[in-house]
Amino acid sequence: MNLDQIFSAGRTVFSLEIFPPKKTSSIDSVYTTIDELSQLKPDFISVTYGAGGTGAGSLTCKMASYIKEQGTESIAHLTCVNSTREEVLAALEDLKAHGVTNILALRGDKNPDIPPKEEFRYAYELIELIASQGGFHIAAACYPEGHPECGSLAQDVRHLKQKVDAGASHLISQLFFDNEDFYRFREMTAAAGIQVPIEAGIMPVTSRSQIERMVSMCGASIPKKLSRLLSRYGDDPLALTDVAIAYATDQIIDLIGAGVDGIHLYSMNNPAVARRIYENIKNALATGRS
C-alpha cells in the first residue's frame, strides 16, 4: 500500500528500522531478523544506507525488496553526500527495478576519511532530484532537538520546510528521550507551515556504549531520569534491557496519547526487544489518533 494512504487512515502508524549486516556477515543473517520483525505487523520497515560505514546501497535495496516480498511495505534509506548525480540516478533505477518505491532521502553524515563529492550539499537537493523522476514516496529526516551542525532549532526547522517543499511527504525523527522536546518541535513545525505526518523516532537503549555512541553522533540529550537509570543499571545487561523496554514503552504510550502521527522504532536488529515493546503498546496503537 502507498505510504500516503497508510498515514491518511487516521491511526497511529507503527514502523521499524533495521540496518544491513556488517561486512563480515552474510545478508542471510538478517533475513531471520526481518522475518521475526515482520510478525509484529508494522506498517513498514525501513532499511538504513551504509550506516556506520557498512552496507552498500545494493544491500539496502536487496533487503528492502525482500521485506516487500514477505508482505510488509519497506522504505530504503538513500544518502547523497558521497554520490554523484549519475550514481543517485542509477540507485533509483535499481530500487525501481526491485519494486522499492519508498525512499528516506538523506544527506548522510560527512566522513572525514571520504571527501564529499559536492554535487549534493543538502538533502533537499536529493529530494528535488527524486521528485523529478516521479513514482516515489519520499520521506526525510527531522531533528526534535535540532541537527547538531545547525546553529539553532528555528533555523533547522526552516531547512526542514525546504525539504517538504522539495517533495518530502513524510518525516521521521531522530531519536529523543524527552517527549517535551518532540512536542515543542511539533509546535514549531506546525507554525512553520509543515503539514506532513511526523513519526517519532524511539530507540530502546540496551547498552551503555550504544547510548554513548548515539549521543556523540546525534547530540540527543539525556534527561535526568534516564541518566539515573543508566548509572544504576548500566553494568547489568539484562536489567538494562528491562529498563530500555520500560523507558521506550513509557515514551510511546505518552506519544500515542498526544496524537502522534507515527512511532518509528529503531529496532537495532533486535526482534526480541522490539516484540516486548510491541506487546506493551499494541492496544494503545489500535486506539487511533484523535
Q: Is 172 in the site for ligand FAD (CB under 6 A)?
A: yes
List 147, 170, 186, 276, residue binding ligand FAD (CB under 6 A): 147
Alpha-carbon gap, residue 48 to 217, rounded angstroms: 16
List 16, 18, 92, 106, residue binding ligand FAD (CB under 6 A): 106
Using the minimum distance from each CB to ligand FAD, give the nearer residue, 49 or 243. Answer: 49
Query: Alpha-carbon dihedral of residues 77, 139, 287, 68, nearest 10 degrees?
Result: -40
Within the chain, where are the H helices? 3-8, 28-38, 57-69, 85-97, 123-133, 153-166, 179-191, 208-218, 224-233, 237-257, 271-285
Residue with cell 504510550: 253
Alpha-carbon gap, residue 131 to 122, rounded angstroms: 15
Question: Minimum Å distance from CB 165 to ligand FAD?
Answer: 11
Q: Is 285 in the site for ligand FAD (CB under 6 A)?
A: no
List 4, 35, 93, 149, residue binding ligand FAD (CB under 6 A): 149
The contact pattern for ligand FAD, residues 211-250, with x = CB under 6 A and - = no contact, is ----------------------------------------
Is there a contact between 42 and 68 (Cβ–Cβ < 8 Å)? no
Question: Minimum Å distance from CB 232 to ligand FAD?
Answer: 29
Is there a contact between 173 and 196 (Cβ–Cβ < 8 Å)? no
DSSP H or E stretch at residue 165 = helix 153-166
List 144, 201, 204, 234, residue binding ligand FAD (CB under 6 A): 201
C-alpha cell at position 129: 532530484
Among 22-30, 105-113, 182-190, 207-215, the segment contacting ligand FAD (CB under 6 A):
105-113
Q: Is 95 in the site for ligand FAD (CB under 6 A)?
A: no
Q: Which of 208, 238, 237, 236 is nearest to 222 (CA)?
A: 208
C-alpha cell at position 131: 521528485
Site for ligand FAD in 32-51 (CB under 6 A): 48-51
Alpha-carbon gap, residue 225 to 106, rounded angstroms: 32
- The amino acid sitting at 170 is H
Q: Is 265 in the site for ligand FAD (CB under 6 A)?
A: no
Question: Minimum Å distance from CB 100 to ligand FAD?
Answer: 14
Question: Minimum Å distance from CB 202 to ligand FAD?
Answer: 11
Q: Is 167 in the site for ligand FAD (CB under 6 A)?
A: no
How many residues of this chain bind ligand FAD (CB under 6 A)?
25
Is there a contact between 18 and 152 (Cβ–Cβ < 8 Å)? no
**Residue positions annotated with a catalytic role:** 17
Question: Minimum Å distance from CB 204 to ligand FAD?
Answer: 15
Q: Is 153 in the site for ligand FAD (CB under 6 A)?
A: no
Neighbouring C-alpha atoms within 13 Å toward the C-beta of 139: 29
The contact pattern for ligand FAD, residues 46-85, with x = CB under 6 A and - = no contact, is --xxxx-------------------------x-x------
Is there a contact between 270 and 20 (Cβ–Cβ < 8 Å)? no
DSSP H or E stretch at residue 200 = strand 198-202
Q: Which residues bind ligand FAD (CB under 6 A)?
A: 48-51, 77, 79, 104, 106-109, 122-124, 141, 147, 149-150, 156, 159, 162-163, 172, 174, 201
